[in-house]
Structure 1
Amino acid sequence: FVASIRLDAVGAGRPPRFAPLPEHPASQRDLVFLIDRGIESEAVVRAAARAAGSLAVQVRVFDRYSGQGIPEGKLSLGLRLVLQAPDRTLAQQEVDAVAERVVAEIGKRFGASLRA
């Protein structure tokens, strides 16, 4: 016997919270950077989220690779940006502008470049 859990007490006193479904679709953009191996992925994610601003509903790592085709001391880091406005469908130009801001910020802060 390791532990007992009172299931009747789990979540007691808190009404369930529901979030309405979004009325407008989200847009995704994948960006793959070549960065120094010593840079923490989480720092890059935080910087990308700040650069993306209020339209970013999610920024996450979808790929991290080092090996054949990647220079010594570097790694390939893929970020997925999920962008959404609460009041409208984003235009392609808006998504492009956010992606450009993210690329510029990650390049300036970490010396990273987009991987071809």
Structure 2
Amino acid sequence: MSCNNKSTDSTPTGPTDTTTTDPAAPLKGSQYVGKWYEKTKNDIKFEIKQDGSIDWFDQTEVPASASGTNVIKERDAVFKAAFSANGQTTEIVFTFTSAAAGSMTFQVKQPYSYDVVKK
């Protein structure tokens, strides 16, 4: 028996780990952090920040933000957030098919989606 046994666990930890352990901010430090654009245009749609918050863009302005604690993880790559602006609330579902592609769906009477890519 040795007193200097080192762990052989190869699970990544620290800043290189792209998963979050903070249930209150499921996108915090995730692989999805960055600016996301409409796939067919160069229009920015949203930005996921390091703290897990999301800014939703309308053209070049930021009409609304959701704090990281207001983002709900629904499934592995599906997150929902509620944005409030001008007295109205809009719920958006973000579905990621990879670290750089996915869609955003507005949950309104007639839902509509944008295909998005991270640049």
Bin of the TM-score, shorter chain as denominator length: under 0.3
With a CA cutoff of 8 Å and minimum separation of 6, indicate the structure with the bigger relative contact order: 1
Q: Could you state the TM-score of these two structures normalised by the residue count of structure 2? A: 0.27
Q: Could you state the TM-score of these two structures normalised by the residue count of structure 1? A: 0.28
More helix by share: 1
**Greater Cα radius of gyration, structure 1 or 2:** 1
More strand by share: 2
